[in-house]
Amino acid sequence: MDASFIGPPDSHKQPQNEIVVTAPCSAGAEQALLSGSYIIDEERSDRVMNALNSAVDAMPPSVARPYFARRIRKAGAPGYAVRILFAEGRFWLKNDAKRKIVVPTGGETIEWTQEDGQVFDVSAQVNGEAISLTFDGIDHSKRTTSYCSDGQQLVTETTIIGPLLSTPIRYRVVYNRVADRVYEADFL
């Protein structure tokens, strides 16, 4: 994948505290194509842990650095297996052994707690052919991931910002579909 996309981006540019979300699929794809089970395609995906570690290495020394570094590595790591259900105005997501997320797609916020106790305000928004999921942390960090599928592959693009990051972290992960049908019972 495009190595310039993985961060941290150019350190000579002014840091921007904004999220830029682009739809990772071509126009015309539909959200219904998102529903399914997927396995990561490591060959076609960015080297996410390298991007996260580079960003952590670039953080200024601080007493909060170890805490923030641990949070960013844990929350930013992509899942190996992903299940998605997009139905009735709700977006269901389950990564590996993480807790499921069920969030309305109209932008309403829910509170979600990760397995390690990290608490996030989570919202989902339909953006044309993609759905964006945003996690706002209590430490003012923000991770937004856009999900889009062509029916065979799921493509995600993630942007992470935080108080100790001089520039946003951006990466792309590709997943291959392994099952078309997913039901609410699959998320129990």
Domain locations in the chain as residue ranges:
3-182
- The whole-number average pLDDT for the span 73-99 is 87
pLDDT one-digit tens code per residue, 97-107: 788 999 999 88
Alpha carbons within 13 A on the beta-carbon side of 99: 14
Percent of the chain with pLDDT over 70: 82
Q: Answer for the pair 76, 52: CB distance below 8 angstroms, yes or no.
A: yes
**Torsion sign over Cα 33, 128, 161, 173:** positive
Higher pLDDT, 148 or 69: 148
Residue 181 is encoded by which pair of tokens? 């049908």
Q: Does the pLDDT value for residue 136 go beyond 90?
A: yes
* Nearest CA-CA partner of 81 in 100, 94, 99: 94
pLDDT for the residue numbered 30: 54
pLDDT for the residue numbered 15: 36
Residue 24 is encoded by which pair of tokens? 């990772």
CATH superfamily for 3-182 is: Calycin beta-barrel core domain (2.40.128.20)
Q: What is the chain's mean pLDDT, rounded?
A: 80
Higher pLDDT, 21 or 161: 161
pLDDT grade for 123, boundaries at 50, 70 and 90:
very high
- pTM comes to 0.79
Q: Does the pLDDT value for residue 55 go beyond 60?
A: yes
Strands (E), the chain: 36-40, 81-87, 90-95, 101-104, 106-113, 119-127, 130-137, 142-149, 153-161, 169-179
Higher pLDDT, 26 or 97: 97
Q: Answer for the pair 158, 76: CB distance below 8 angstroms, yes or no.
A: yes
Q: Does the pLDDT value for residue 42 go beyond 50?
A: yes
* Nearest CA-CA partner of 86 in 131, 120, 121, 128: 131
pLDDT for the residue numbered 9: 37
- The whole-number average pLDDT for the span 64-84 is 86
